[in-house]
Amino acid sequence: MPDEDGALTKLSRLKSPWILHYDCSSCNGCDIEILACLTPYYDIERFGILNKGNPKHADVLMVTGSVNHRNKVVLKNLYDQIPPPKVVIVVGACGSTGGVFHNCYNVLGGVDKVIPVDVYVPGCPPKPEAIIDGVVKALEKLKAIQEGKWVEKKKGKEEKKKEKEEKKEEE
Ligand code: SF4
């Protein structure tokens, strides 16, 4: 059956989202909790949530670990390869802010220094329940984007000023 108006694709994206998991530079604590979501106890695959290895097949990018000068290139590359509409979930303190590594000489900070982030799952590491909750939140946003109901917040003067300063510092 052809999906001329894209309704089936949109529904499939929400009912069976495919996730690409990328570990920036985590200690693997967060990654183990993500893997726990796939074990028989939580078994998120029963909800149609699948872990995929190809960014071109993914709807959701799930990132752990802090960003450094090396992995920022890979992270941006993966993000760009995921077809829109897409959402990004950051799992753990390191991916959110740099966490315990935020003062390291090579660490830029959290994932949002490089790509836009939609959902932050706090914790060091977060529990599987929190990660699953993060996926549900991300799907709510994906649904709103698909229905054209999502309105991006306009950046205020302070935010723009801060961004300019951060860019200068990087150069
Ligand atoms: S948030 Fe904690 S568990 Fe997760 S990668 Fe950082 S140090 Fe490891």
CA 39/CA 45 separation, integer angstroms: 9
Cβ–ligand 1 distance for 109 under 6 Å, the answer no
Tell me how far the alpha carbon of residue 18 lies from the centroid of ligand 1, in angstroms.
23
Rg (CA), the chain: 17
Model confidence, pTM = 0.86
- Cβ(30) – ligand 1 distance below 6 Å: yes
Atom of ligand 1 nearest to the CA of 93: 1
Mean pLDDT across the chain: 90
Q: What is the pLDDT along the chain (171 residues), one digit of tens a residue?
A: 667 778 888 888 888 999 999 999 899 999 999 999 999 999 999 988 999 999 999 999 999 999 999 999 999 999 999 998 999 999 999 999 999 998 999 999 999 999 999 999 999 999 999 999 999 999 999 998 888 887 776 666 777 777 788 777 767
